[in-house]
Amino acid sequence: MKAKKIMAVLSVITALLFLAGCNITNNWSLNVKKGDKYNFHEVVDQDAALIIDELEDHTITVKDMNLTMEIQDVDKDKNVTIAYKYDSIKVSTGDSEKMKEYDSKKPDPSDSLADIYGGVVGKGFTVKVSNKGQVLEIKGANELVSSLIGKVPPAKQTNPLKGAIKQSFGEDAVKSMVNQSMNYNPSNKVKTNDTWESKYSIAALCPMESNNKFKFLGEKDGLLNIDVQSTVEADTKGKQVQFMEFKSDMRLKGNSKGTVNINKKTGLIEKGNFKENVGGNMEFTLGSKNKSWPVEISQKITYETTKQ
């Protein structure tokens, strides 16, 4: 049971590491109108392996999520306010022999995790960005955190759990991650085969660093096609961080390769495909003992944005 819970921790950490490959918006410049609505569909297929005493414990997780993006305002400076709302979330998790499904469309009051997923649907937050994608303001993230905590039975509302939800979904973490993950914009005008790079840190759960290299593959059928290659690293440098009931010291490195296709007219990412791998060691404090185990995680991510 401990191994399965640790795998859940790994799933969240990996999602944060590769957030840059999972963003909804933008490139060169946003060109949208007030009232425009878009659907964002993302599928993540992940295989995580925790190696304990030379035996691999695998957890397979498939996440299928839909969100609505509505353009609420475009001001005189072309800053754009976008409302994000979760429409549906379905998560299947388990191993090669047995999978369990959590579906926001099929709530289960007896399962607190299913209740949390169900609690997200219909809720969201707003983001104000410049027309170049720089995040200027986020509203509603902390209210979402309070709502999610409220879905957990009082007896299970431990401080570590509350902290984990806030670290993952709170305003500071969301603003930091979204702001940095929009760095597809080249600083200068580019032509086919030109490259540019970006580096950033993520302030969530644990210190994370990402280095990204972009290559403009050219334009076809109104889409700007970009190759994206990233390296990522998470290193707590001997300082354990709290996640749920665990304390962990982690040293993880990985890479991500994929492409994004950006609508030249709107500046929104229409399609994205990524393959990602991360590995390393995590040392957990379990009771009075410290356990260090190798971990390996691979995942495929596909996403698509369509106008409603």
| Tens digits of residue pLDDT in 139-183 | 998 898 888 788 777 777 766 667 666 766 677 766 665 555 455
The domain of 107 spans: 2-307
Quote the CA–CA distance of 55 and 53 in Å, as a whole number: 5
Closest CA to 160 of 246, 81, 93: 246
Q: What mean pLDDT is predicted for residues 78-102?
A: 85
Task: Look at residue 10 in the predicted model and tell me its pLDDT.
Answer: 52
Quote the CA–CA distance of 261 and 274 in Å, as a whole number: 12
**What is the domain-level CATH number for residue 148?**
2.30.230
Query: Would you say 32 and 50 are in contact if contact means Cβ atoms under 8 Å apart?
Result: no
Q: What mean pLDDT is predicted for residues 28-42?
A: 88
| % of the chain residues with pLDDT over 90 | 15
Domain tally, the chain: 1
Dihedral Cα 257, 263, 269, 273, nearest 10 deg: -30
Helix/strand/coil for 180? helix
pLDDT over 80 at 259, yes or no: yes
Q: Which tokens belong to 287?
A: 């009771």
pLDDT over 70 at 221, yes or no: yes
pLDDT, greater one: 1 or 99: 99
Task: Look at residue 36 in the predicted model and tell me its pLDDT.
Answer: 96
